[in-house]
Structure 1
């Protein structure tokens, strides 16, 4: 019998203390952090001289999703690729360093969980898919000149994908409606902040991002359909 103090011989001593982040999450996080670092440095006068203080606003105007441009394409039945590019560029431009930091926290935490259960490429599909569909719903719902920017629609897509993973039981035992606790908590916080400080228009894109992430996770997960069929049969 092995003594109680003896370490098991089959333990992998070369294993990292924590599971590494999926490469797709690392790439997205580095892109967001790198751009924010440049804009923060410019705003502080470290880069760009006096003109650097206007780089953030210029980036929002150039790369943010602008509803009138989207409306123009619909009315004229014309695709302008420089307008279409804004669907995938706006998630990388943020209003403040704190704004970018919160997006990074969501992306790193939930992207890791999603990437471990699904796949590396699924993280990119969920993030960009939720960002695109979030902007699309934003453009269809609002008639506004307020620019949409920031990675929260994509981050909420990660919340949606993680909710699907829990609900479908892809990471273990299915949790049913308890899987929606996180999004309910986030929407509750958003409602409180909206009542206290005034709500913006971005919440539409964020909810659409969550719904998109939930649906996309079903499409890209290897056992998504089987999990849903199993839940229906159990009922």
Structure 2
């Protein structure tokens, strides 16, 4: 007889739930403020103020490099920008993809490793944006971190396919599809330079998972010694 205590739906990993709540919680404050439900008249400007205070800016990054100064209030932008979004729809898409990718990746990686992949995608995405993008200096939203999780998902799927004798290239269909969608939207509605941060986040997550997957570091070390 089936244990009635066992849930038919696998619970979300705590780290994924925490990230989702942080993203949606911040967005809820902005959306409620814009709707005039909280904060009074000044709440309309909360999102813009948050972008200026916590978003990542290529201009600010260039200033830090030029001055050789790295104030904490600007360094934190490498992480905090992931929790500030341009709109409710933006945050919703990030949240949905975070739940989907995070749940799958957390079935294989430890909780801390899932957080590390998200953080690495976030930081490396901002770094690439700061170094290479000047025409669109502001970067906000959690997509680079989510693309880090997509990179982890891709590596895990690649290993599974190769182990079963299937074509490992099939693992890259998702990232190819997502980049294709970004290209189409860019052609239709104008270029969006944030694709670079997303792509770098993807490769960072893919590379990190090679080591973070259980036994991955030992296999990599053995392979390097063999070579």
TM-score (structure 1 length as normaliser): 0.88
Q: Which residue of 2 aligns with 1:4?
A: none
Instruction: Indicate conservation of the 8 Å contact 2:211/2:220, yes or no.
Output: no
**In 2: Cα distance, 1:109 partner to 1:172 partner:** 23
Instruction: Work out which of the two has the higher radius of gyration on C-alpha atoms and give 1 or 2.
Output: 1
8 Å CA contact retained: 1:117, 1:171? no
Shift of 1:74: 1.2
RMSD: 2.3
Trace 1:53-68 onto structure 2 (pairs within 5 A). 53-68=44-59
Match of 1:192 in 2: 184
Report the Cα offset of residue 12 of structure 1: 4.0
Q: How many residue pairs get matched?
A: 223
Following superposition, the deviation at residue 77 of structure 1 comes to 2.0
Give the structure 1 partner of residue 10 of structure 2. 19
2:128 corresponds to 1:130:
no
Specify the alignment match of 2:207 in structure 1.
215
Contact 1:94 1:150 in 2 (8 A): yes
Alignment of 1:1-235 (within 5 A): 9=1, 11-144=2-135, 146-169=137-160, 173=164, 175-224=167-216
SS of 1:21's partner is coil
Q: Which runs of 5 or more residues in structure 2 are unaligned? A: none
Alignment partner of 1:25: what SS? helix
1:88-122 Cα shifts (integer Å, max 9, x gaps): 10000011111000001110000000011111111
1:35–1:92 CA contact under 8 A, matched in 2: yes
- Give the distance between the partners of 1:226 and 1:176, measured in 2 at CA: 22
- CA 1:27–1:161 in 2, change beyond 3 Å: closer, same or farther? same
After TM superposition, give the deviation of residue 229 of structure 1 in Å. Answer: 9.3
Offset at residue 147 of structure 1 (A): 1.0
CA drift at 1:170? 8.9
8 A contact 1:68–1:145 mirrored in 2 = no
Q: Distance in 2 between matches of 1:198 and 1:224?
A: 41
Q: Aligned to 1:177, what secondary structure does the other structure show?
A: helix
Q: Deviations over 1:67-101 (max 9, x none)?
A: 11111121222221111000010000011111000
TM-score, normalised via structure 2 length: 0.91
Gaps of 5+ in 1: 1-8
